[in-house]
Every structure is written in C-alpha cells, then in structure tokens.
Amino acid sequence: MFVGCHVSIRNGYLGAAKTAFAIGANSFQYFPKNPRSMGVKAFDAKDAEACRRFAQERGLVSIGHTSYPTNLAVDEEDMRERTVKHLRNDLEIAEACGSLGVVVHFGHAKGGEPLEGYKRMIRLLDELLHDWRGEAKILLENNAGQGSRMGTTIEELVQVRSLLAAPDRVGFCLDTCHAFASGLWRGSNWKEVAAHMRSSGYFSSLAAVHLNDSVYPSGSFRDRHAPVGRGEIGLEAFSEFLQTPELAEVPIILETPAPAIGGHREEILLVRKLADRQEGVFDLEK
C-alpha cells in the first residue's frame, strides 16, 4: 500500500521526495508553489526532473495540491482567467515532477446557487484542460460541507466529471475527514458507501486518498483534521476503510497534524498496521 504524508518543498521538489523517503513513506503530497497565493511560478525544471527520477528509482508516488484560495466555481471573469493560468502552472509542475495530478477542492458557489456553481466549474475545467496533453490530472476533492454544501455527494462529483469535454483528464481525491464531516461517511456505514462508489463509477476514477480523522462528529460540516485514531472516526472504522480492495494501489496521504517529534513516521506505520489488522493495533483507543 502506498502510504505517506504532505511534505514541504522548502528544499525543492527533490528535497520533498527525499523527506518522504527518509520517514518510510512511499507516497507524498506537496504544494507546487505558495499555498496562500495563485500566481504563476517559474519553477526549476532540473529540480523537478530530479524529483521525478528519485521517485521512480525508489518506487515513490506523488500528488500535488493546489493553493487554498482556488475556487473552481468562481464567477468573476478576470478571476476565472487567473484561476485557469494558475492551475495550468500547477499541472505543468506536477507533470515535471512525475506526479499523478493536482488535487483541487470541488468548487463553492457564492450566494448559495449550486447549479450556477456547477456550470462555472465545468466551463473553467473545460477551458483548463482542452489542450492539456500531459499525464497529470486534475483530482477533484470532496468538500466537508461548509457554505453552499457543494461537493459533498458522490453524485455531484461523478456527474460534474461526466459532463466535462475531457473527463479522462480528471480523477478524484477522497478526503475521509471531509466525507465524515459532510455526513457521507458515518464511520459505521463504510460498506454501504463503498457499494455506492462502485455502482456509480467513482472508484474507477479514484486517484488518491487524504486519510484524516475528524475533530468533530459526522454531519457537523466542520473541517478540522485529527491524527488517525485520535478523532471521531476511530481506528476500527479506518481499518475497515483501508481494507477496501479498490484502495490497494491508491496513494494514501496523511494531512494530519504532524507530531513534534518524529513527524509522521509512526502514523504511517500505524496506517499500514490498520490495513493489515495487526495484533495490538487497536490498543490506542483503550
């Protein structure tokens, strides 16, 4: 199983890959550029290529994550054009680094008009991807339900993708905290949720998972990540989740608060134990 965490590019893209490898991860996520802005970055192509080679040689899988201000359902024309340029730049960086794609949160509509929001998302993604020929994909992430409640259901994600001119250039990233916060996953109903994902075709386009516990209960619509097993979801629910056959080769990325000592190394080991249901793995909850 490909298990890892989000890592910094403070020391470049190659540095990010080396950081992940050093803590025992075989997958990782990174911000292609400043996570607080939406500029276009003139990136170091040699550094990106070195990252690609290092990852290939050591069996690492990576994904990028776009910046926080990005909104696929933006309504202002100048902001839409800026978003397209920004995301194209992210895709170019991800492609150069050999990453599977770039995670982008499902859009949110201002004024609570989801139908118009869906239309704007489709228009923006079609413009972004119409001449994109790289292997890196846009990976739509489910939302926790804040604001307009857009992007919280499997139907929305699958339908928006199906309406794109080039749906093959878009995949999904499943965030477990978001799924829990939105009420999609209640912890005890994973078999039901997984069956729905199979029948809808969601799993066939799933490219990554953000594995995060939740500080708040299911249905709270509050996005606050907790370490695996330290939140409302719990170890038993995560163990069941991780044994899903469709997740066997999908990169599992931790976006949980990093411990002060040792980083995510121990949490990565815990996730692998949960997937194997190793003896003593549930002692954390006792």
In a domain, 102, yes or no: yes
* pLDDT for the residue 277: 83
The domain that holds 114 is classified in CATH as 3.20.20.150
Q: With helix as H, strand as E and coil as C, how does 94-109 read?
A: HHHHCCCEEEEECCCC
Residue 8 DSSP code: -
At residue 261, does pLDDT exceed 70?
Answer: no
At residue 36, does pLDDT exceed 60?
Answer: yes
Confidence of residue 1 (pLDDT cuts 50, 70, 90): very high
Taking alpha carbons only, the member of 133, 173, 150, 161 closest to residue 6 is 173
In a domain, 261, yes or no: yes
Backbone angles phi, psi at 225, to 5 degrees: -75, 145
Question: Which tens digits make up the pLDDT trace of 190-217?
Answer: 999 999 999 999 999 999 999 999 999 9
At 1, list the tokens. 């199983």
In a domain, 286, yes or no: no
At 45, list the tokens. 């192509």
Question: Which tens digits make up the pLDDT trace of 71-91?
Answer: 999 999 999 999 999 999 999
> Do the Cβ atoms of 73 and 107 come closer than 8 Å?
yes
* pLDDT for the residue 285: 54
Backbone angles phi, psi at 30, to 5 degrees: -150, 160
In a domain, 55, yes or no: yes
Mean pLDDT over all residues of the chain? Answer: 95
In a domain, 142, yes or no: yes
Q: Is 62 helix (H, G, I), strand (E, B) or coil?
A: strand
Domain total in the chain: 1
Q: What percent of the chain has pLDDT over 90?
A: 90
- Report the C-alpha gap between 30 and 48 in whole angstroms: 12
**DSSP state string for 124-137:** HHHHHHTT--SS-E
- Report the C-alpha gap between 189 and 240 in whole angstroms: 10
> Do the Cβ atoms of 250 and 206 come closer than 8 Å?
yes
- Report the C-alpha gap between 235 and 284 in whole angstroms: 8
> Do the Cβ atoms of 80 and 74 come closer than 8 Å?
yes
Q: Is the dihedral of CA 219, 223, 228, 230 positive or negative?
A: negative
Q: Is 76 helix (H, G, I), strand (E, B) or coil?
A: coil
In a domain, 148, yes or no: yes
At 113, list the tokens. 């008009």
At residue 97, does pLDDT exceed 60?
Answer: yes
In a domain, 285, yes or no: no
Question: Which tens digits make up the pLDDT trace of 147-202?
Answer: 788 999 999 999 999 999 999 999 999 999 999 999 999 999 999 999 999 999 99
Q: What is the mean pLDDT of residues 92-117?
A: 93
111: left (phi over 0), alpha (psi -120 to 50) or beta: left
Domain of residue 151 covers 3-279
In a domain, 284, yes or no: no
CA distances (Å), origin 139, targets 23, 44, 112, 207, 210 = 25, 23, 24, 7, 12
